[in-house]
Amino acid sequence: MDRINPTFEDTDVVIVIGANDVTNPMAREAEGSPIYGMPILNVDKAKNVVVIKRSLSPGFAGLPNPLFAMDHTLMVYGDGKKAVVEMTAALNQA
């Protein structure tokens, strides 16, 4: 994380597959939260975030993830592998 986190601010698009707590900005911002202080991937700092998940269900900590509601985040619901294959095919056709 020490190597990747500083690069997110210069990243155009991040694709997150299935992760919840490990990308939850509450770990940095919400003192008193069960995940406060936990190391996370700072994907919310990227210009655009695509999150692929089966649902909006909370992660292991049982917390909502504010990343999912951010203006620069696009939620894609479904199977991670299938979604990536379909996105790749669509990009190749464009």
> Is 21 a known active-site residue?
yes
CA distance linking residue 63 with residue 21, whole number of Å: 8
Of 2, 10, 21, 79, which one is the catalytic site residue? Answer: 21
List residues with catalytic annotation: 21
